[in-house]
Amino acid sequence: MDVDLIIVGGGLAGNCLALSLHKTCLKIAIIEAQSRQTLDGAALGDRALALAAGTVDALRSLDLWEGISYAATPIENIHVSDQGHFGKTHLSAKKENVPALGYVIAARDLENHIANHVAKLQNTNVFYSTRVAGIISDENAVFVSLKSEQESINLRAKLVVGADGGNSSVRQLLNITQHRTDYGQSAIVTTVSTSRPHQNVAYERFTSSGPLALLPLGTHHCAVVWTRKSDDAQALMQGSEADFIAQLQQCFGYRLGELNLSAPRHAFPLSLIRADDIIANRAVIIGNAAHQLHPVAGQGFNLGLRDVMALATMIASQSDNDIGAPDFLASYAEKRQSDQSRTIQFTDALVHVFSNEWLALAAVRNLGLTLLDTLPFAKSILAKHAMGLHL
């Protein structure tokens, strides 16, 4: 079966890439290892996504935002503090002259919305419950062998895109190595109700064992992303809900009144993973297949979507030519290098600076937060980073 483009991974990155190319004449195949039903029930769907303003602009350009904006909660202010220390700062949408610094949405809501749009595309076939068994290429095409429960399928295309997550089969089949840094931390993800309204404030509290984020959802709910040392996270997951809430309340305080669990708890180990290359013969990897970040700055999906939009723009301009040509892929890799490196370095630095109780470093970071709160131009730069507009 001949197509122009094979996208491996039917999640947010892969589906957004297909949607961004719907005005071209390219024939596209999306390969997803899981069934649609399995994806709908996956634990990762319970996580909250912090959408930067730049990401919302991209979703709007794909005609996706208007149909899902009702499920998203705007972040009008961000409150940053350091537990047990005096340093703090505030970021304000009003002072940046924007309606919101970002939005919070349940991953499952956005994933289902985008998948439903992909299902309507005329030029795209989605193969669910289908795995990639092999990838080979020559000067003119890439050949991908697939296996499903029913049959084996062979596809030929000009380009294959790996958008299949941190354990990318495409990356592995292409023998692209990766550099991995284990943070020794896990993120506990859940949702809590609050006895006081959050008033569209997102809270980021740095603690000795990692950051705690409470992100506004609705009017009296917050998505929780609580980073703890791995052993501590395991103990919190094994303990009762009452013990969990008691410790969460102690860590965050009573700024939002009493907290109560309103969703299951899930824990995910945290590492910085970066592929040593993002292109190979007639292949490119994007999103978490290329880079997986700590959630401290909420930049994972935002960075991945910038990969998507950059690649889509280049493919659309090249659609009448060879979209898998070596010089074309090299140009994409060069185009993305700066943004990816800067975002990864910024996120990694935050982890090390704000998950460290060395006294001298604690004093410096708290002084930095205090000074930041008095310097409007510096706060504006940080706000633009948060909005994905200063990259």
Per-residue confidence (pLDDT) for residue 262, from 0 to 100: 93
Percent of the chain with pLDDT over 70: 86
CA 316 to chain centre: 24
Per-residue confidence (pLDDT) for residue 368, from 0 to 100: 45
The SS3 call for residue 54 is helix
Residue of 158, 156, 176 whose CA lies nearest to 167: 176
| Pairing of the two strands 152-157 and 142-148 | antiparallel
User: How much is the pTM?
Assistant: 0.85
Tokens of 71: 């499920």
Q: Report yes or no: 328 and 318 within 8 Å, Cβ to Cβ.
A: yes
d(CA 386, CA 17): 23
- Positive or negative CA dihedral for 229, 235, 239, 243? negative
d(CA 296, CA 227): 8
Mean pLDDT of 297-311: 86
Per-residue confidence (pLDDT) for residue 352, from 0 to 100: 64
What are the residues facing 362 on neighbouring strands? none
pLDDT tens for 176-214 read: 999 988 888 898 999 999 999 999 999 988 776 678 889
DSSP alpha helix (H) spans, the chain: 12-20, 36-41, 53-61, 107-118, 169-173, 230-238, 241-252, 300-318, 326-354, 359-372, 376-386
Per-residue confidence (pLDDT) for residue 13, from 0 to 100: 95
Average pLDDT, the chain: 86
Residue 382 has pLDDT above 80, yes or no: no
Mean pLDDT of 306-312: 95
Residue 371 has pLDDT above 50, yes or no: no
CATH of region 5-50+108-179+271-350, choose from 3.30.70.1090, 3.40.50.150, 1.10.10.10, 3.50.50.60: 3.50.50.60
- Length in residues, the chain: 391
- CATH 3.30.9.10 maps onto the chain at 69-106+183-270+358-386
134 band by pLDDT with thresholds 50, 70 and 90: very high
Mean pLDDT of 314-338: 93
Range from 299-303, 322-326, 365-369 that averages highest in pLDDT:
322-326
Per-residue confidence (pLDDT) for residue 272, from 0 to 100: 86
Q: Where would I find the beta strands (DSSP E) of 14-67?
A: 28-31, 48-52
Tokens of 118: 């992909």
Mean pLDDT of 352-362: 49
- Positive or negative CA dihedral for 24, 25, 26, 29? positive
Per-residue confidence (pLDDT) for residue 388, from 0 to 100: 52
The SS3 call for residue 195 is coil
Q: What is the dihedral of CA 128, 129, 134, 136, to 10 degrees?
A: 0
d(CA 103, CA 67): 15
Per-residue confidence (pLDDT) for residue 12, from 0 to 100: 94
Least confident of 94-108, 221-235, 316-330: 94-108
Q: b/e string for 322-335 if b means 16 or more Cβ within 10 A?
A: ebbeeebbeebeee
Tokens of 7: 């996208």
Q: How far is CA 334 from CA 20, 45, 314, 339, in A?
A: 21, 32, 12, 10
Q: SS3 helix, strand, coil % of the chain, rounded to 5?
A: 40, 30, 30
Residue 359 has pLDDT above 50, yes or no: no
373 band by pLDDT with thresholds 50, 70 and 90: very low
Per-residue confidence (pLDDT) for residue 386, from 0 to 100: 52
Q: Which CATH homologous superfamily contains domain 69-106+183-270+358-386? A: D-Amino Acid Oxidase, subunit A, domain 2 (3.30.9.10)
Per-residue confidence (pLDDT) for residue 236, from 0 to 100: 96
Least confident of 82-96, 97-111, 377-391: 377-391
377 band by pLDDT with thresholds 50, 70 and 90: very low
Per-residue confidence (pLDDT) for residue 353, from 0 to 100: 62
205 phi and psi, to 5 degrees?
-115, 120
| Pairing of the two strands 178-194 and 159-162 | unpaired
- CATH 3.50.50.60 maps onto the chain at 5-50+108-179+271-350
Per-residue confidence (pLDDT) for residue 354, from 0 to 100: 57
Residue 316 has pLDDT above 50, yes or no: yes
30 band by pLDDT with thresholds 50, 70 and 90: very high
Residue 370 has pLDDT above 60, yes or no: no
Q: What is the dihedral of CA 6, 111, 117, 8, to 10 degrees?
A: 0
d(CA 198, CA 221): 8
